[in-house]
């Protein structure tokens, strides 16, 4: 069984390696599924006498998860991840409670013994982190789903309150470890639930991709903490992998948004994130464009760069873009896709959608690899990618997104911006690109607009 556990661990590591590249992501995902299936099967393969209810619970949970994943829209993947993270955190809390109630059943201690010091620390930390993950993920889900406002909810002295609650949690955990009284752990977990809300509510919608990644990391550390208590190598390995990879990804995302990790984690610690989102200084006249005019402009171009954003995801326009790409290449026009690290609502959101439409991986370029090409590009087509194309990030020191690396779309000879309306983006500010002389707006549903442009090009 030790060998099978090692095989499962290796499969998880190979899965992470595969997920690091779009071309190998599908294979990596399959390795991860295989590793998780083996890990779940290990207790049964070991011949442990498990109650039939355990197998039934696994079967029911797996079935529910399968149908949810099959029916979920691609646009809802970020909130689905947040919801799943919340369940991982809640599971850690429940396991910690079960260990406290019957430590002998988990071979942590006999009835007469105290829970060992190391186990008490690991278990209480896992429970606290799990509680924060649960409540924080619920808030993230609410903001991504539109149930809660994406605007930061701040109040005077919020950081002092958070610090006080964090210190109280630490004191209660210390008291639990020393006195072994369940009441202390219960109060620590309740406060952890509370601070999860306090930490995520002040975070603005523009920072949600980082929050999703960060909560993923939290769920991993909660799992690892409980794994140490149960002496379960699989939980430790999987938790450490998820926790570490999530933390690394969060840091990468923060660099992509010119944020510091503490800035996001603590709900806008610096002044830049707390800047007013009511205005961005953008003003001027907007040029509206018809699909026929856009088709004429694109057909007479020699090079086109398409910048997908959340508008493409909402309209499910990726398949039409694939048809548009094929039509343009048939005319001898060069077509590339430019992806910002935080486009959409989670890391890799646009990559997944483009892959779904069978757009070749070699046609998709990251910000650093394609930004220098906009200056020599005839047409840039922006599909709902608002904040990540906003020149205010470079030009306006008072903008909330100032300093955030953005795609240099405004340098293209002509910018065709497809958007439902002239409303503000997820960061709550107007896009200065709308008012540039070389920008033309195509207002409407992205899929319908792209279909009309495609018709104009074909005919």
- 43 three-class SS: helix
DSSP secondary structure of 256-318: HTT--HHHHHTT--STTTTS--S--S--S---B--HHHHHHHHHT-SEEEEEE-HHHHHHT-H
Distance (Å, rounded) from C-alpha 394 to C-alpha 269? 21
Distance (Å, rounded) from C-alpha 199 to C-alpha 162? 8
**395 is annotated as an active-site residue:** no
Q: Are 347 and 253 in contact (CB under 8 A)?
A: yes
Tokens of 326: 């094929």
- Measured in whole angstroms, how far is the alpha carbon of residue 335 from the centre of its chain? 28
Which uninterrupted H or E stretch holds 418?
A: strand 414-419
Catalytic residue chosen out of the listed positions 387, 395, 396, 445: 387
pLDDT at 427: 64
Length of the chain equals: 459
pLDDT at 2: 72
* Residue whose C-alpha is closest to residue 314's, from 220, 218, 444: 444
- 419 three-class SS: strand
- pLDDT tens-place values along the chain, 459 residues long: 578 888 988 999 999 888 877 778 889 999 999 999 898 888 777 766 667 778 888 889 889 988 988 888 777 778 888 888 899 999 999 999 888 888 887 778 765 567 888 889 999 999 999 999 999 999 988 888 878 877 777 778 888 888 999 999 999 999 999 988 889 999 999 999 999 998 888 877 667 778 888 888 999 999 999 989 888 888 898 899 999 988 888 887 777 666 777 766 665 544 444 344 444 445 668 899 999 999 999 999 999 999 999 889 888 899 999 999 999 999 999 999 999 887 877 777 888 888 888 898 889 999 989 999 999 999 999 998 888 899 988 888 887 778 888 999 999 999 999 998 887 766 667 888 999 999 999 999 999 999 999 999 987
Cite the DSSP H helix spans in 201-232.
208-230
Sign of CA dihedral 179, 184, 189, 193: negative
Q: Are 288 and 439 in contact (CB under 8 A)?
A: no
Residue located via tokens 């018709």: 455
Tokens of 74: 């691609």
CA dihedral 120, 121, 127, 132 (to 10 degrees): 160
Q: Are 136 and 199 in contact (CB under 8 A)?
A: yes
- 420 three-class SS: coil
Which uninterrupted H or E stretch holds 383?
A: strand 379-383
Q: Are 345 and 78 in contact (CB under 8 A)?
A: yes
The alpha carbons of the chain give a radius of gyration, in whole angstroms, of 25
Which uninterrupted H or E stretch holds 183?
A: helix 182-200
Domains of the chain are 1-70 (no CATH), 72-265 (no CATH), 291-458 (3.40.50.1220)
Residue located via tokens 């033309």: 440
Distance (Å, rounded) from C-alpha 75 to C-alpha 293? 30
Residue located via tokens 């295989």: 34
Distance (Å, rounded) from C-alpha 117 to C-alpha 174? 10
pLDDT at 145: 82
* Residue whose C-alpha is closest to residue 258's, from 387, 435, 415: 387
pLDDT at 372: 94
Tokens of 29: 């995902």
Distance (Å, rounded) from C-alpha 280 to C-alpha 424? 10
Tokens of 399: 């903008």
């Amino acid at each position: 069984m030790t060998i099978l556990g090692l095989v499962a661990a290796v499969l998880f590591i190979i899965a992470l390696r595969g997920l690091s590249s779009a071309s190998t992501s599908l294979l990596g995902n399959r390795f991860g599924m295989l590793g998780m299936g083996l890990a779940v099967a290990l207790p049964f393969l070991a011949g442990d006498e498990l109650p039939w209810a355990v197998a039934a619970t696994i079967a029911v949970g797996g079935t529910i998860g399968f149908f949810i994943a099959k029916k979920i829209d691609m646009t809802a993947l970020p909130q689905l991840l947040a919801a799943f993270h919340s369940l991982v955190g809640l599971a850690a809390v429940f396991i910690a409670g079960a260990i406290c109630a019957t430590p002998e059943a988990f071979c942590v201690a006999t009835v007469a013994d105290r829970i060992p010091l190391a186990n008490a620390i690991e278990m209480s930390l896992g429970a606290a982190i799990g509680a924060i993950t649960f409540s924080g993920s619920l808030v993230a889900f609410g903001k991504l789903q539109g149930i809660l406002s994406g605007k930061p909810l701040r109040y005077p002295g919020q950081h002092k309150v958070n610090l006080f609650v964090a210190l109280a949690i630490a004191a209660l955990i210390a008291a639990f470890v020393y006195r072994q009284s369940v009441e202390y752990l219960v109060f620590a977990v309740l406060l952890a639930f509370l601070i999860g809300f306090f930490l995520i509510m002040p975070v603005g919608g523009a920072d949600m991709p980082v929050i999703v990644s960060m909560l993923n990391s939290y769920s991993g550390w909660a799992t690892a903490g409980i794994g140490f208590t149960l002496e379960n190598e699989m939980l430790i390995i999987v938790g450490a992998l998820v926790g570490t990879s999530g933390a690394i990804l969060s840091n990468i995302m923060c660099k992509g948004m010119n944020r510091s990790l503490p800035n996001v984690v603590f709900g806008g610690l610096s002044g830049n994130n707390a800047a007013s989102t009511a205005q961005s200084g953008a003003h001027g006249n907007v040029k509206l464009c018809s699909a026929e005019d856009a088709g004429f402009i694109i057909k007479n171009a020699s090079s086109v760069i398409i910048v997908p954003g959340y508008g493409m995801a909402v309209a499910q326009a990726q398949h039409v873009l694939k048809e548009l790409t094929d039509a343009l290449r048939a005319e001898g026009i060069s077509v590339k896709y430019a992806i910002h690290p935080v486009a959409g609502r989670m890391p890799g959101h646009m990559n997944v959608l483009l892959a779904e439409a069978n757009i070749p991986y070699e046609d998709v370029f990251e910000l650093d690899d394609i930004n220098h090409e906009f200056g020599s590009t005839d047409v840039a087509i922006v599909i709902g990618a608002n904040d990540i194309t906003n020149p205010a990030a470079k030009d306006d020191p008072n903008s909330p997104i100032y300093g955030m690396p953005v795609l240099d779309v405004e340098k293209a000879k002509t910018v065709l911006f497809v958007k439902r309306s002239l409303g503000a983006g997820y960061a709550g500010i107007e896009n200065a690109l709308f008012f540039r002389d070389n920008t033309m707006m195509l207002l409407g549903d992205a899929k319908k607009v792209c279909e009309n442009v495609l018709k104009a090009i074909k005919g």
